[in-house]
Chain A
């Protein structure tokens, strides 16, 4: 079982308490009604789906119930770091197990 660090509980907790909530840092337009169909499609449906580092929203559903952001490697399934909702994308990622993951 994965242990995921919740930035609000400040502790590693078992993955069963968490739920994925899609890709992070997708800004909603302030003028949604004025969006063109193409722009709306990009905002609503198109996700990056990379092989490697992905920024995701997660929710500590059966814990503090807070949403937060996580950086995960889709190849190894390892969580690289987590940070609170609303915080910007980390400019530098920590190095995990002698393997530089930041690119």
Chain B
């Protein structure tokens, strides 16, 4: 009897490993823009000097961009330039970029931040206007083309912005800011529709 009970409990996922994404499944659709929480992804914060970038690019399978406000994508993995020696790597294919970096002996610092960030997708004709409701950057296609990425600010919260399409953005923010950012963007999308 005791044995059977023990068996039963092991088959249930332990609560400590259960993943509960903030705002999971939330979305709002206004006339001009749709704001939705994107599925969880693997992410790392990568710091490395110039000399290590070649080895890291090879290990990650995506070339780390060296120019400001740019990103590189390959096979579901995106590397976003954040600073001269800093990148945010997002993997949406379910592979772990942290494990790939662990094999690199060149000097670098890779920190797993998969659970720290929440991704919010803003799509539609009014997407740029919705983000511009709280973000002071120029989001015209000339200044911020498809593939452009930048750390910036939305209202009072810091975000990382990536343009995935002419009318589509991925907004990455800290988990604890996600409620604020999502509500801000939802309000912005309603204003953008006017």
On A, residues with C-beta under 8 Å from B are 1, 8-11, 13-14, 16-17, 62-66
Q: In the complex where A9-B69, A13-B137, A14-B136 touch, is A62 in contact with B82 (Cβ < 8 A)? A: no
- List chain A residues, Cβ under 8 A from B94: none
- B49 interfacial by beta-carbon distance below 8 Å: no
Q: Kindly supply a per-residue 1/0 record for chain B positions 118-157, scoring 1 wherever the CB is within 8 Å of any chain A CB and 0 otherwise.
A: 0000000000000000001100000000000011110000
- The contact of A62 among B68, B69, B158, by CB within 8 Å, is B158
B133 vs chain A, min Cβ distance (A) = 13
Residue of chain A at shortest CB distance from B81: A64
- The contact of B69 among A11, A14, A16, A65, by CB within 8 Å, is A11
Asked if A65 contacts B83 (CB within 8 A), the reply is yes
- B167 interfacial by beta-carbon distance below 8 Å: no
On B, residues with C-beta under 8 Å from A are 68-69, 82-84, 86, 136-137, 150-153, 158
- List chain B residues, Cβ under 8 A from A62: 151-153, 158
- List chain B residues, Cβ under 8 A from A64: 68, 82-84, 86, 151
Residue of chain B at shortest CB distance from A84: B84
Q: In the complex where A8-B83, A64-B84, A65-B83 touch, is A1 in contact with B151 (Cβ < 8 A)? A: no
CA distance A24 to B150 in the complex (A): 27
CB<8 Å pairs between A and B, sample of 5: A1-B136, A9-B69, A17-B136, A17-B153, A62-B152
Asked if A65 contacts B136 (CB within 8 A), the reply is no
Residue of chain A at shortest CB distance from B143: A11
Residue of chain B at shortest CB distance from A15: B136
Asked if A65 contacts B152 (CB within 8 A), the reply is no
Q: In the complex where A9-B68, A11-B68, A62-B153 touch, is A16 in contact with B136 (Cβ < 8 A)? A: yes
- List chain A residues, Cβ under 8 A from B153: 16-17, 62
- List chain B residues, Cβ under 8 A from A17: 136, 152-153
- List chain A residues, Cβ under 8 A from B150: 63
Asked if B68 contacts A65 (CB within 8 A), the reply is no
- List chain A residues, Cβ under 8 A from B158: 62
Other 7 A-B pairs with CB < 8 A, given A11-B68, A62-B151, A65-B82: A9-B69, A14-B137, A16-B136, A17-B152, A17-B153, A62-B158, A64-B68
